[in-house]
Amino acid sequence: MLTRLTTRLMRTIAIANLAALASGGLPACSQAEFGGKDKTAASGKAAKGKSKGDEGNLGGLGGPGVDASAYGTPVTDDLGRPGWVDDKIKSLVDTLFRTGAIPSLGDNPGNGGGSGTSSSSGIPKLGEQGNPGSGGSSGSGDGTGSGGSEDGQGKGPSSLFSDASGVLWMPCRDSAAGNGNFSSDFFAKVGAKVRVAGEFCPQAKIGGDVTVLYVIDHSGSMEGAGEEGPNDPTSNGLCGRFKAAEVIAKKFASMPDTKVQTGVIGFSGAARVDLQLGSLDALNAVVDKSKLFCGSDPSNASTNYHAAFTEAKKLIEKVPGKKIVYFISDGSPTTGPNNPSTSGLAAAQALRQIPDLTLFALFVGYTKGKANNPQGYLEQITGNPKAVRVTANATELVQAAAALAQPLVTIAPSDVVAQVTSGQSTVPVKIEKIEARKDAINRFIWVTEPFELKGVAGKSSINELQVTAKTSTGDSVKSGAEINFNAN
C-alpha cells in the first residue's frame, strides 16, 4: 500500500508529468485508495487529522465492481468540504439515507448551531429586523453516524462504494454566488467509474402577503400542574414558547418584499383568539407579549386539539395570501368531541384544506425512551414529516422553531437532471436517488448512478458534472463538479 508520502510524491510528479509517471509504472494496492481536495487548499490540509496507516483504509472495498488498482491523493473526512470521501463519510452518508440524520456532524447549513436570538437584553423584539440564524435540528434524530454495511459491500443506493471506484461528496452552497464548480483530482485506471453524492439547500423565497398564526398550548403541564411537567415553565416572564415565536417572527420580518401579519390563538381545554390578526407592529405594541405565549390555564388545564384547530380555521380561512400556522404543544389531546385524538386529527385536516396553508407542529417535553412518542401522530396532524419537531425542553424548542421559520420547498425526482461533459462529449447521468432530509427542512440529498470517467492513459482529462433541479417555488438549484481524472 502506498504510504502518504509516496502518494503525495506521486501526485506531485503526476501533475508535473503524467505521461512520464505512467510509463514508469505504478505500484498496485490491495485496496482502492481515493483522495482529493479543493484545489485551492494547501497540499497537506486534506489529510489533516489522519494517523499513519489511514490511507486507503476504506472498509473492505475489494468487492464486486471495485477497482482494486485505483489510487489517489490523501482522502478528506470533512463532509463540509468537497473532495473524495473515505469510509467514514461513506458510513455517515449511508446513515443519512437510512435515518435522515447525521448527529455527529450537525444539521445547520449555514451559520453554526443555536437559534442566534441573543441581543443586549437577551430576547429580541418581535418584528426586529435581522437574521436570527438558521438554527439546527431539534435534536430528535437518533442516528449514530455509524450506518452502512460492515464490509462496505452492501447492495442498493445506500451502499455507495459497492459498484464504483470512488464517491465524491458535494456540500450544498449558494448557487447564485457564482462560485464555479467544485474541483477535485481523481487517480485511477482507464474505465474507472465513480459516484457523486451531494446536497441541495434551496432557500424559500416568498413575497406578498404572508400570515403567520401561532396556536399555543396553555395546558397545566406546561407549568407543572397535576404532577405533570413543567415542560415549558415561565422564568422572569419568559418561556420557550415566547422565544420560539420571537425567532419565527424575526425570520419572516427579514424576508424581502413580504408583508407579514400575525395572530395568536391560545388553547387548553378550550380555545380562544388571544390576538386578532394584525401587523407585527401591532404585536409589538402589546405591553406584555409573554402572556400570549407563556403560562397555563389554571381552571381548564386539559388539552383540546380539536378546539385549537377549529378556532384557527375560523380565523384564517378567508385570509388571502400564504398562511403558515405554528402549533406548539406539550401533550397529546386529552379532551374534545368523541375520541380526542380522532377529532383533533379531523380538525387539523380540515384546517389544512385551506389553500396555500402550511401547518407546522412543535412539541416540547418529550425525551428519548418515553412511551407514546408523539412524532407519528403529529406527522398525521401536519400531513408532512418535515413539518414536525419533537423536542425535550425549551432550549430545543427555540432551536427547532428557528429551523422551521421558513416555508417548505419540495423537489420532485423528475425535476432533477444531470450530465457529464468531457471534451466535446456530453452524456446524461442518471440520478439514482434524491430524498429530503428528515431532520432539516428544505435540504435534499442526491446520488448519481456510477458513471465512467473519460480519459486517456498517461493524461489528465477534465470531466465536468452538472446537476440541476427545479424546486416547487419555480427556482433552480444546481451543483457542479470538475473532476480532474488522471488515468493510468
Give per-residue pLDDT as tens, 65-83. Answer: 445 556 666 677 777 778 8
**In the predicted structure, residue 204 carries a pLDDT above the cut 50:** yes
Pick from 26-40, 225-239, 334-348: least confident: 26-40
The tally of CA atoms less than 13 A away on the side-chain side of residue 269 is 7
| C-alpha angle 136-142-148 in degrees, rounded to nearest 5 | 110
pLDDT at 119: 28
Per this entry, what is the length of the chain?
488
Neighbours of 391 (CB within 10 A): 28
pLDDT at 23: 30
pTM: 0.65
Structural contact between residues 410 and 436, judged by C-beta atoms closer than 8 angstroms: yes
pLDDT at 65: 46
State the Cα–Cα distance between residues 303 and 299, nearest whole angstrom.
Answer: 12
When comparing pLDDT for 199 and 110, which is higher? 199
State the Cα–Cα distance between residues 429 and 423, nearest whole angstrom.
Answer: 16
**In the predicted structure, residue 118 carries a pLDDT above the cut 60:** no
The tally of CA atoms less than 13 A away on the side-chain side of residue 139 is 17
State the Cα–Cα distance between residues 213 and 277, nearest whole angstrom.
Answer: 8
pLDDT at 67: 53
Tell the burial category of 203 from Cβ atoms under 10 Å away from its Cβ (0-12, 13-18, 19+). Answer: middle
Pick from 81-85, 114-118, 367-371, 422-426: least confident: 114-118
Integer-rounded Cα Rg, in Å, for the chain is: 26
Convert the pLDDT of each residue in 423-463 to its tens digit.
999 999 999 989 888 777 888 999 999 999 999 988 999 99
CA distances, 484 to each of 59, 102, 104, 187 (Å) = 25, 29, 30, 8
Nearest one of 164, 186, 56, 39 to 487, comparing CA atoms: 186
pLDDT at 367: 80
Position 87: which residue type? D
Nearest one of 215, 375, 212 to 308, comparing CA atoms: 215
Mean pLDDT score across all residues of the chain: 74
Neighbours of 464 (CB within 10 A): 15
Convert the pLDDT of each residue in 24-67 to its tens digit.
332 222 223 333 322 233 333 333 333 323 332 222 333 344 45
The verdict on whether omega for the bond into residue 171 sits within 30 degrees of 0, i.e. cis, is no
* Mean pLDDT across 388-395: 92
Terminal CA-to-CA distance of the chain, rounded, Å?
Answer: 17
pLDDT at 69: 54
pLDDT at 274: 95
Structural contact between residues 193 and 160, judged by C-beta atoms closer than 8 angstroms: no
**In the predicted structure, residue 107 carries a pLDDT above the cut 60:** no
pLDDT at 315: 97
Would you give the DSSP letter of residue 231? S
State the Cα–Cα distance between residues 391 and 330, nearest whole angstrom.
Answer: 9
Convert the pLDDT of each residue in 245-303 to its tens digit.
999 999 998 888 889 999 999 999 999 999 999 998 888 888 788 889 999 987 777 99
pLDDT at 285: 84
Cβ-proximal residues to 214 (8 Å cutoff; 6+ apart), any chain: 245, 248, 262, 263, 264, 265, 292, 293, 325, 326, 328
pLDDT at 386: 85
Phi then psi dihedrals of residue 161, to 5 deg: -95, 5
pLDDT at 287: 74
* DSSP state letters, 384-419: -GGGEEEESSHHHHHHHHHHT-S------GGGEEEE
* b/e code 306-317 from CB counts within 10 Å (16+ = b): bbbbbbbbebbe
**In the predicted structure, residue 145 carries a pLDDT above the cut 90:** no
Cβ-proximal residues to 59 (8 Å cutoff; 6+ apart), any chain: 87, 90, 91, 148, 151, 152, 161
**In what side-by-side order are the strands of the sheet with 388-391?**
271-279, 258-267, 208-217, 322-329, 357-364, 388-391
* Mean pLDDT across 146-174: 58
What's the gap between Cα 462 and its chain centre?
Answer: 31
**In the predicted structure, residue 125 carries a pLDDT above the cut 70:** no
pLDDT at 127: 30
State the Cα–Cα distance between residues 292 and 303, nearest whole angstrom.
Answer: 17
Domains of the chain: 4-103+139-202+411-487 (no CATH), 208-403 (3.40.50.410)
